[in-house]
């Protein structure tokens, strides 16, 4: 297993377009997290899944954002009608889901909205 | 909600010197404190973590200390090397959901050869 995988690594889109990112967690990790990181700041929590259930959403996750994890394995994050303020690094992390276990981050998807 | 503050924002040291990064947190329910290293264009990588039932943890040249009463925790890197140059983030969360963390704003560490 090579860790958390994210695709694409980079995405440039025009304002108003929709984009979708994919995250493949470490095999058998039950929990999957999405974060957003803007330049010069730490990652900010967006949402997380326990298996296929989306258990928590941050207030940062506006109604233009939607995340899914249909079979409890990979996850997608979609942004509709992108705005310039959506430009950021979108990070995915996974953990086994038990207490006292760490989370592992992927390399991220860098989104640029022009 | 939780708030994590991290200082300094930039730190420059000579190779071989020590580096110290400090963080404070606000939520007394937080009991898991990971530290991440992030290199340019990459995701954060966990380098060490500490849980609230211990006051100090060490792994080779890296150590973390935790003062629960004061809600402070610190990262200490000894014998720094140029490859230690990166952005370091502290974070706070709960053992029950260690992946849902509140991060500090990072410290850019530069180790000069």
B45 to chain A: closest CA residue: A105
pLDDT tens digit sequence for B59-85: 999 999 999 999 999 999 999 999 999
List chain A pLDDT tens, one digit each, 114 residues: 579 999 999 999 999 999 999 999 999 899 999 999 999 999 999 999 999 999 999 998 899 999 999 988 999 999 999 999 999 999 999 998 776 678 899 999 999 999
Judged by CB atoms closer than 8 Å, whether chains meet at B106 and A42 is answered as yes
Q: How far is CA B45 from CA A75, A98, B40, in A?
A: 20, 20, 12
Whether the Cβ atoms of residue A35 and residue A4 lie closer than 8 Å to each other: no
Judged by CB atoms closer than 8 Å, whether chains meet at A103 and B45 is answered as no
pLDDT at A12: 98
CA–CA distance, A21 with A41 (Å, rounded to integer): 21
Of residues A33, A42, A107, nearest to B99 (C-beta): A33
Give the residue among A27, A1, A10, A12 at the shortest CA–CA distance from A108: A10
Whether the Cβ atoms of residue A12 and residue A110 lie closer than 8 Å to each other: no
pLDDT tens digit sequence for B8-35: 999 999 999 999 999 999 999 999 999 9
B102 touches chain A (CB under 8 A): yes
pLDDT at A1: 52
Q: Residue B83, SS3?
A: helix
A95 touches chain B (CB under 8 A): yes
B24 touches chain A (CB under 8 A): no
DSSP state of B40: T
CA–CA distance, A60 with A69 (Å, rounded to integer): 19
pLDDT at B16: 97
CA–CA distance, B95 with B112 (Å, rounded to integer): 37
Q: Closest approach of chain B CAs to the CA of A18, in angstroms?
A: 23
B100 touches chain A (CB under 8 A): yes
Q: Quickly state the pLDDT bin for B91 (edges 50, 70, 90).
A: very high
Half-sphere exposure in the Cβ direction for A94 (13 Å, CA): 23
What percentage of chain B carries pLDDT values higher than 70? 100
Chain B residues in contact with A46 by the CB 8 A cut-off are: none
Q: Quickly state the pLDDT bin for B43 (edges 50, 70, 90).
A: very high
pLDDT at A100: 61
Chain B residues in contact with A56 by the CB 8 A cut-off are: 100
């Amino acid at each position: 297993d090579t860790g958390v995988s994210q695709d694409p690594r980079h995405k440039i889109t025009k304002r108003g377009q929709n984009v979708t990112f994919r995250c493949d967690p470490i095999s058998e990790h039950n929990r999957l997290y999405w974060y957003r990181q803007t330049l010069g700041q730490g990652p900010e929590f967006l949402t997380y899944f326990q298996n296929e259930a989306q258990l928590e959403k941050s207030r940062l996750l506006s109604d233009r954002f939607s995340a899914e994890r249909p079979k409890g394995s990979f996850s997608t994050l979609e942004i509709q009608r992108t705005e310039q303020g959506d430009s950021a690094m979108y990070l995915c992390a996974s953990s086994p889901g038990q207490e006292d276990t760490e989370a592992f981050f992927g390399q991220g998807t860098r989104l640029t909205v022009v | 909600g939780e708030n994590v503050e991290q200082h300094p924002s930039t730190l420059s040291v000579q190779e071989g010197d020590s580096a110290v990064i400090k963080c404070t947190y606000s939520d007394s329910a937080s009991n898991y404190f990971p530290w991440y290293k992030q290199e340019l264009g990459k995701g954060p990588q966990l380098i060490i973590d500490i849980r609230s039932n211990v006051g100090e943890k060490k792994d080779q040249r890296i150590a973390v200390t935790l003062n629960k009463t004061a809600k402070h925790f610190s990262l200490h890197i000894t014998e720094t090397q140029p490859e230690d140059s990166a952005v370091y983030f502290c974070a706070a969360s709960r053992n029950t959901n260690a992946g849902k963390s509140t991060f500090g704003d990072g410290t850019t560490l530069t180790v000069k050869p």
